[in-house]
Structure 1
Amino acid sequence: MIWWLEAVLVGALGGLVGVQVVLRRLSFFTMALTHATFPGVVAAAILGLNIYLGGAAAGLIVAGAVAVLSRRRGQNTAAVTGVLLSGGFALGVGLVATQDGFGIDLSEFLVGSILTVTGRDVATTAVVLALSAMVLTVLARPLLFTGFDPAAARAAGVNARAVDLTLLVTIELVVVTIVPAVGTVQALALLVAPAAAARLWTDRLALLTPLSMGFGVVSGAAGLAVSTRWNIAAGAAITLSATAILLVSLAATRTRAVRAAPSRQGSPVRQAAASPG
């Protein structure tokens, strides 16, 4: 029962925050965030601390650095994110190299293991889901302004840097929360795929968020069902389910557009408009 509840909560959480990741084109940042947590994980493992707390600390540093550096004049957000991604991962590798016979298994952090989650993990996911929903609700208007019309946001007195930093920290918190279930390597798909699929079906933000969360929940539940039925790694199965939803949505919406095109072209209004004189 705990596994299923965690799968549903993780899917809903990924779908909720993934809308902002997709709309604000933060997929690359999110991928960088999952990889840049590596030095924090290694450092925590060396010190005998909780590796997820170590990863969270490293991710918060990266999120803050991106928010600050990307706002400097002449700085490109993608360039800053790419450098921090490479630098963070290199730092983790360097820390491993300093330890002779580093024998700590980090595979669970990399690929996840939802079958080992505890009641505390489920409670944590539920709390983070509630907090994320609250943050996105409170900041709904500032996020809309800064995401689609930064000039209007500045004119309205919105503190864009504070809004960006809050969103980046929220994404980092979500990444760390879903890592036990799907791992850092696969976390990006659960954040991006449901929202990207929902974006194919609607342009309305009021519908986009619940649809994305629904796709996320289906991904989590379906992935766990496939894992249980065919003995496939749960994290991989959940990721593949989210990917399948995106591909099916892409195919379905494309087919619908192709079928609708002839009817629009052949409508009396269009024919009258196209006829000379």
Structure 2
Amino acid sequence: MDVYTLRAVIEAGLVGALGALVGVHVVLRRLSFFTMAMTHATFPGVVLAAILGVNIFVGGWVFGVFVAVGVAALARGRGQDFATATGVVLSAGFALGVVLVSAQEGFSKDLSAYLVGSILTLRTSDVVITAVVLAVVAAVLAVIGKELVFGAFDPTGLRAAGYPSFALDLAVLLLVELAIVTAVPSVGTILSVALIVAPAAAARLWVERIGPMTAVAVVIGAGCGVLGVLVSQHVRVATGGAITLGTTAAFVLSVALAPAVKRARGRRVRRDAVAAAG
């Protein structure tokens, strides 16, 4: 295994684990549409960064923060809901990017790496950044994870208990944005949604408690990331696509197998209980 593949394997495992950690809260809060929207709404930031000659991923992250704050603020308006606010901001953000591109005569900056990623061309510094982001996200979730879960299941109760619901909601949105931008060099914006949503959605089909669900999601995310890199190198296909197809396959298999496994487990538990009682 050459150094480029080894670096890609490490990066895929890290970004898979990162996506899964954040994805648990995305699934619990039904934020899959928001996650998809954020991958499109950061487009103006990328275009601006490309025009100004700065790092396009930094531009996407900075603009994404403003988008996340805007969605959170609009969703709290009277008579508004989260899906409506997300749809409006998504459309406005992407339209702004289109306007910026059309206003630049002869604009031909190659943004393909932003769209689909290029994990085999990453540098060691990129892997280090992903590891640092993963550690920061894990630390944040360790501190406020219980409150985030409380708010996901009972937002009214969270506010009644005196917790800062707006700050917690905003924290989730910013974590989603951070995960998306960190995954962009590896799998791009188009494919990062599956890396965040699919492992957590698959894990939820197997377990119901949040702790085990998070652990299973991380294993699925990291495992699909590493396996995707190895498969892509073996059969010579796009690495980002292979990783995404792996997470999708994990979700489809979970949909097909998890209910049957749970039923079999339930029958065994009842049989053991009857045997113990007898």
TM-score bucket of the superposed structures, by smaller chain: over 0.9
Can you list the C-alpha shifts for 1:237-268, whole angstroms capped at 9, x where unaligned?
0000000111111111133357679999x9xx
Corresponding residue of 2:186: 181
Q: Hey, what does 1:161 align to over in structure 2? A: 166
- In 2, distance between residues paired with 1:183 and 1:263? 44
Instruction: Flag structure 2 segments of 5+ consecutive residues without an equivalent.
Output: 1-5
Structure 2 residue aligned with 1:194 = 199
Shift of 1:38: 0.4
Which shifted more, 125-134 or 136-145? 136-145
Look up the match of 2:78: 73
How many Å separate the matches in 2 of 1:151 and 1:262? 37
User: 8 Å contact 2:25–2:149 — kept in the other structure?
Assistant: no
Letter paired with 1:54:
G
Task: Please state if 1:240 is matched with 2:252.
Answer: no
Moved more, 166-175 or 249-258: 249-258
Q: Counterpart in 1 of 2:3?
A: none
Selected match of 1:151 from 152, 156, 161: 156
Alignment of 1:208 onto 2:213: yes
TM-score normalised according to structure 2 size: 0.92
Larger radius of gyration between Structure 1 and Structure 2: 1
Question: SS at the partner of 1:139?
Answer: helix
**Paired residue secondary structure (2:237):** coil
Question: Which stretches in structure 1 are left out of the alignment for 5+ residues?
Answer: 270-277
Residue pair 2:199, 2:220 contacting (<8 A) in 1 also: yes
Q: TM-score of the superposition, structure 1-length normalised?
A: 0.92
Count of paired positions: 269
| Residue matched to 1:222 | 227
Q: Give the fraction of aligned pairs with identical amino acids, expressed as a percent.
A: 54
C-alpha separation in 2, matches of 1:186 and 1:228:
18
Relative to 1, partners in 2 of residues 1:165 and 1:262: Cα closer, same or farther, differing over 3 Å?
A: closer
Rounded to whole Å, the distance in 1 between the matches of 2:141 and 2:220 is 19
The 1:67/1:2 distance shift into structure 2, 3 A limit, reads same
- Give runs of aligned pairs for residues 90-109 of structure 1, distance below 5 A: 90-109=95-114
1:54 maps to 2:84: no
Show structure 1 runs of 4+ deviating over 2 A: 254-264
Aligned to 1:115, the other structure's residue is in SS state helix
Residue 135 in structure 1 maps to residue 140 in structure 2: yes
| 2:18 aligned to which of 13, 38, 51 | 13
Q: d(CA) in 1 for partners of 2:85 and 2:67?
A: 10
Cα distance in structure 1, aligned partners of 2:41 and 2:102: 17
